[in-house]
Structure 1
Amino acid sequence: MAILAIVLQSLLALMFLMAGVGKLSGSKMHVENFKKWGYPQWFRVVTGIVEFVGAAALIVGYWDKNWTAVGSLILGITSIGGIIVHIRNKDSFKETIPILVLAIISFIVFFIR
């Protein structure tokens, strides 16, 4: 079980580091998506910061499990927000699957670490 937890924690940290950096750097996809969804660009930046901080907490969590709980909870709640955005904007299920999977992994990590 410990190996599975570390693998899921690592996957989650990597995915949200990439997503957070993409939002913070203003990647074309993220800029266009936030525009399409009707959110201001400052909200994209805040979302990127939250994702980056959550991922960093997961990394610190390798040494202190309390940080794993904090990071996975932050990312799980953020993921639920992302799912709601996709549903409200009638995005396809295909577009919603990645954030749905990350939400599930976030809560699995929260409960098994």
Structure 2
Amino acid sequence: MSEQAVGARIGNIVLWGLQVLLAAYFIYSGYLLFGDGLVRKFDEIGFGQWFRYVPGVLEIAGAVGLLIPRLSGLAALGLSGVMAGAIGTELFLVDKGDAMLPSILLVLSAVVAWFRRDTVRALLVSLRPGAHRTG
């Protein structure tokens, strides 16, 4: 096995490790959004308590997607968007908000999205009209 192949294999293992850690965190975070622990924060945001469920569903769906090879890049891209929204919320809607954690999660999700961009490309190609036709 060439050095380049070994490096690619190690990089893939590290990336999968990151994806598993991110998935675990986003499942935990999504679970918290369905509980009562963040009621006060979402009262402060001002969109109503129903809004807690939107990021909760998106985070759990993204976490599951991170663990499915074909969806991992798209899931990471979506979670990057969710974290961008969380950063904006922390900076502009929450009094004394802290955007550090969502910023870190945004960067880590963007790293996964970048290195899994081939899966996003393949998924988009498969969705094109006529992509499943043969001959």
Normalising by the smaller structure, the TM-score range is 0.7 to 0.9
1:102 aligns with 2:105: yes
CA distance in 2, matches of 1:36, 1:89: 7
Alignment of 1:1-113 (within 5 A): 1-24=11-34, 26-28=35-37, 30-60=38-68, 64=69, 66-89=70-93, 91-92=95-96, 95-113=98-116
Unmatched 5+ stretches in structure 1: none
Give the number of the structure whose residues are more often helix, by fraction: 1
What's the TM-score once normalised by structure 1's chain length? 0.85
Unmatched 5+ stretches in structure 2: 1-10, 117-135
Instruction: Count residues in correspondence.
Output: 106
**Contact 2:41–2:94, Cα closer than 8 Å, also in 1:** no
Higher-Rg member (1/2): 2
After TM superposition, where is structure 1 displaced by more than 6 Å over at least 4 residues in a row? none
**More relative contact order, 1 or 2 (CA 8 Å, 6+ apart):** 1
What's the TM-score once normalised by structure 2's chain length? 0.72
* Alignment RMSD (CA, Å): 1.5
CA distance in 1, matches of 2:95, 2:16: 32
CA distance in 1, matches of 2:108, 2:95: 21
